């Protein structure tokens, strides 16, 4: 297939842009990123994606930065739990991945990526706490739901919100 006619899924486009799949969907809905509908699925021409990426000069909107940092804060707490109880935390992740495998078949690339490293707590810790785009994408597809209880998660989110307001006040 010619490069300019190659169609990508929103997930593949997200990997290229270094953002979440939901952000790509939002870009399509807003009209900022051209797409085609095939059946019920959005497909983005690689040439359109490359044009969009070049035009945006990889400027990441502040709300995306905030979302990425918020996720990073939550996953740092998960990393703390992993350090204290590797077997328990990894068991939760494995169970979540098995459930996701049947419920969300289109998430397979991320399910496979997490599955590939779950036997090595050090690699998992790296993905939970690394600030790079690939780690951001993996955290957007986290298998660690349920590791933090509701109260702890709410405390972390409140602390993050306070820090964000204090450091980003106009």
The residue among 81, 91, 72, 99 whose CA lies nearest residue 148 is: 81
Residue 160 confidence (pLDDT): 93
∠ Cα 80 83 87 (to 5°)? 120
Where in the chain do CATH 1.10.1660.10 domains reside? Answer: 3-56
Q: Using the 8-state DSSP alphabet, how is residue 58 labeled?
A: T
Top-tier CATH class for 3-56: mainly alpha
pLDDT digits (tens, 9 = 90+) for 58-98: 555 666 678 889 999 999 999 999 999 999 999 999 999 99
Strand partners for 41: 38
| Rounded mean pLDDT for each run of 10 residues along the chain, 170 residues in total | 71 83 86 89 91 67 78 96 97 95 85 94 95 85 95 95 85
In this prediction the pTM is: 0.66
Can you spell out the DSSP letters for 95-139? HHHHHHHHH-GGGHHHHHHHHHHTT-HHHHHHHHH--SHHHHHHH
């Amino acid at each position: 297939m010619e490069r300019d006619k190659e169609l990508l899924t929103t997930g593949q486009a997200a990997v290229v842009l270094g953002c979440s799949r939901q952000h790509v969907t939002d870009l399509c809905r807003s009209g900022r990123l051209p797409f085609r509908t095939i059946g019920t699925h959005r497909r983005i021409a690689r040439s359109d994606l490359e044009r969009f990426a070049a035009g945006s000069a990889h400027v990441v909107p502040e709300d995306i930065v905030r979302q990425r940092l918020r996720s990073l804060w939550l996953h740092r707490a998960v990393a703390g739990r992993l350090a204290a109880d590797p077997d328990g935390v990894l068991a939760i992740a494995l169970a979540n991945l098995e459930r996701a495998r049947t419920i969300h078949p289109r998430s397979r690339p991320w399910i496979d990526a997490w599955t590939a490293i779950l036997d090595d707590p050090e690699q998992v810790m790296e993905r939970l706490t690394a600030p790079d785009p690939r780690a951001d994408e993996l955290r957007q597809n986290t298998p660690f739901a349920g590791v933090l209880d509701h109260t702890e998660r709410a405390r972390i989110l409140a602390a993050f919100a306070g820090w964000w307001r204090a450091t980003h006040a106009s």
